[in-house]
């Protein structure tokens, strides 16, 4: 078995893992949603956790799919054309990942989470200066 075949196989396995993560994650989130609706009889209360579960599955699956594309493109056929196609694929998937992250967390990925260790609210209830956020 040649190096190219091994690397191509690893890329294929990462693609398969990405698809499985998305499919299984959506299935688990759907089952949790249905159980929550059945128990509480309030589908609107179960909707947000359902969206978050589906979004997290998609995010993780996208990361694995990007890894598979990178491995196959760079290690198997590193032509200028294939690297350009990879750049477009990564750009689209990165855009999807960032928008999903904003939807799930309600903030940009590079913003700090409120209440993380080391950050204290200023005295007097005033908001922190823009440079301290």
- The pLDDT assigned to 31 comes to 97
Domain residue limits, the chain: 3-113
Q: Where does residue 115 fall: left (phi above 0), alpha (psi -120 to 50 degrees), or beta otherwise? A: left
The pLDDT value given to residue 78: 77
Closest CA to 26 of 47, 51, 46: 51
Regions in the chain scoring below 50 on pLDDT: 121, 125-126, 132-133
Distance CA 61, CA 52 (A): 14
Whole-number pLDDT of residue 53: 93
Q: What is the mean pLDDT of the chain?
A: 83
The rounded distance, in Å, linking the Cα atoms of 126 and 128 is 6
Q: What pLDDT score was predicted for residue 38? A: 92
């Amino acid at each position: 078995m040649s190096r190219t075949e091994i690397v191509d196989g690893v890329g294929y396995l990462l693609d398969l893992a990405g698809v499985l993560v998305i499919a299984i994650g959506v299935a688990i989130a759907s089952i949790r949603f249905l159980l929550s609706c059945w128990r509480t009889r309030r589908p609107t209360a179960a909707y947000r956790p359902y969206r978050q579960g589906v979004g997290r599955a998609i995010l993780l699956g996208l990361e694995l799919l990007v890894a598979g594309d990178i491995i196959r493109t760079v290690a198997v056929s590193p032509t200028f054309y294939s690297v350009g196609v990879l750049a477009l694929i990564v750009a689209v998937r990165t855009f999807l990942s960032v928008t999903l992250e904003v939807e799930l967390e309600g903030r940009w990925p590079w913003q700090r989470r409120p209440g993380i260790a080391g950050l204290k609210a200023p005295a007097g209830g005033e908001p922190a200066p823009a440079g301290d956020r």
